[in-house]
């Protein structure tokens, strides 16, 4: 029997857990939120890193621990909310050495310092494989969180950087050839030492012009589909933001660079939509911002329209349990 996919599982849980009164953010958004008082929310996110599936060959314990924090912080970045602190639930396979604990602690601490948030608690358990559940919390004013479901026809679609490096980097790390040419070091680094676009996300939220936002940890295509589906609009892409070194790598390897950019994952850029007439002024504050398409009336499709052709972009990407 074929098992459920991660998305199917989330679908079942969402259906079972949904209840009234309505929460400030839906189950399918990047973070959860809950009212503290009339105008203030506590914002929470949990993201579980598992050694076998989330830490590829070549990733050190420090890097795995740091990545667990980056994944959680990235969701806050996409919502424009500063994470104030972290709790870490750690599952370790015995026997656990002092060096293992210290390396994990270093990775967590370095990441926490990078994003100026503090580790305030946690739990430790015995597991068969490394498990790092990183829980972030922060605070936001009601109505100030960037949502997945706010895209409007007439918006432009923008991203905060290039795509495809993690898909390419993962292929390098999983491949047999060693050492890899130095010119591809940014590709492997994107996997081993990812970065959350926290300051960018906070700046974007402060402009007040962003209508929807998501982090691209499930891949660019999936992220666009999530915005389109939850906002009930179509997204029409005018270009795929392929990183230049990904184009070189794809050429050498006989791969399609656009595929790497669309269907990768664990790439912690932000994907957003905003009013068309605000794009230029917002880009003055966020120079990395790049327009890749438009939001149209529709029912959740993502369409690539360039080079004289039009085709639907599939909703697939990085997924566990598939």
For its own copies, which is the closer residue by CB, 122 or 298?
122
| 47 near its own copies (CB under 8 A) | yes
| 214 near its own copies (CB under 8 A) | no
Q: Which stretch binds its own copies (CB under 8 A): 47-55, 163-171, 238-246, 306-314?
A: 47-55
How many residues make contact with its own copies (CB under 8 A)? 69
Q: Which stretch binds its own copies (CB under 8 A): 112-120, 201-209, 248-256, 260-268?
A: 112-120
| 321 near its own copies (CB under 8 A) | yes
Of 79-98, which residues contact its own copies (CB under 8 A)?
Answer: 84-85, 87-92, 94-98
Of 128-167, which residues contact its own copies (CB under 8 A)?
Answer: 128-129, 131, 133, 135, 137, 139
Nearest to residue 301, comparing CAs of 286, 315, 289? 315
Q: Which stretch binds its own copies (CB under 8 A): 49-57, 168-176, 200-208, 297-305?
A: 49-57
| 126 near its own copies (CB under 8 A) | yes
Q: Which stretch binds its own copies (CB under 8 A): 48-56, 160-168, 239-247, 249-257?
A: 48-56
| 256 near its own copies (CB under 8 A) | no
Q: Which stretch binds its own copies (CB under 8 A): 19-27, 153-161, 171-179, 213-221?
A: 19-27
Whole-angstrom distance, CA of residue 55 vs CA of residue 53:
6
| 31 near its own copies (CB under 8 A) | yes
Whole-angstrom distance, CA of residue 118 vs CA of residue 164:
31
For its own copies, which is the closer residue by CB, 79 or 295?
79
Whole-angstrom distance, CA of residue 56 vs CA of residue 60:
9
Q: What is the 3-state secondary structure (H, E, C) of the chain?
A: CCCCCHHHHHHHHHHHHCCCCCCCCCCCCCCEEEECCCCEEEEEEEEEEEHHHHCCCCCCHHHHHHHHHHHHHHHHHHHCCCEEEEEEEEEECCCCCHHHHHHHHHHHHHHHHHCCCEEEEEEEEECCCCEEEEEEEEEEECCCCCCCCCCCCCEEEEECCCECHHHHHHHHHHCCCCCCCHHHHHHHHHHHCCCCCHHHHHHHHHHCCEEEEEECCCCHHHHHHHHHHHHCEEEEECCCCECHHHHHHHHHHCCCHHHHHHCCCCCCCEEEEEEHHHHHHHHHHCCCCEEEEEEEECCCCEEEEECCEEEECCCCCCCCCC
Options 57, 64, 69, 101; binder of its own copies; rule CB under 8 A: 101
| 262 near its own copies (CB under 8 A) | no
Min dist CB 184 to its own copies, Å, is: 28
Residues that bind its own copies (CB under 8 A): 1-4, 6, 9-10, 12-13, 16-17, 19, 23, 27, 31-34, 36, 40, 42, 44-50, 52-54, 84-85, 87-92, 94-98, 101-102, 105-106, 108-109, 118-129, 131, 133, 135, 137, 139, 320-321
């Amino acid at each position: 029997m074929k098992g459920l996919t991660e998305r199917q599982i989330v679908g079942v849980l969402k259906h079972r857990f949904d209840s009234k009164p309505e929460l400030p953010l839906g189950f399918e958004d990047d973070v959860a939120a809950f009212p503290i008082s009339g105008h203030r929310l506590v914002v929470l996110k949990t993201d579980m890193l598992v050694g076998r599936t989330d830490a590829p060959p070549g990733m050190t314990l420090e890097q795995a621990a740091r990545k667990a924090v980056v994944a959680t912080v990235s969701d806050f970045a996409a919502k424009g909310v500063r994470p104030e602190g972290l709790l870490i639930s750690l599952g370790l396979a015995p026997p656990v050495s002092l060096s293992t604990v210290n390396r994990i602690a270093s990775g967590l601490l370095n990441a926490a310092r990078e994003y100026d948030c503090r580790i305030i608690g946690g739990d430790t358990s015995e597991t068969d494989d490394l498990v790092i559940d990183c829980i972030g919390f922060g605070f936001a004013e009601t109505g100030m969180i960037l949502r997945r479901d706010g895209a409007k026809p007439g918006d432009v679609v923008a991203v905060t950087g290039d795509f495809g490096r993690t898909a390419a980097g993962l292929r390098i790390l999983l491949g047999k050839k060693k050492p890899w040419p130095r010119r591809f070091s940014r590709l492997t680094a994107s996997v081993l030492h990812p970065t959350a676009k926290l300051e960018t996300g906070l700046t974007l939220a402060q402009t007040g012009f962003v209508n929807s936002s998501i982090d691209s940890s499930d891949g660019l295509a999936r992220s666009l589909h999530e915005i389109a589906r939850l906002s009930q609009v179509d997204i029409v892409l005018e270009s795929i933001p392929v990183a230049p070194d990904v184009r070189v790598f794809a050429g050498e390897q006989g791969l399609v660079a656009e595929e790497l950019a669309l269907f990768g994952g664990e790439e912690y850029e932000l994907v957003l939509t905003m009013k068309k007439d605000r794009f230029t002024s917002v880009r003055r504050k966020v120079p990395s911002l790049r327009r890749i398409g438009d939001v149209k009336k529709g029912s959740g499709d993502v369409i690539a329209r360039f080079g004289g052709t039009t085709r639907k972009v599939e909703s697939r990407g990085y997924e566990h349990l598939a």
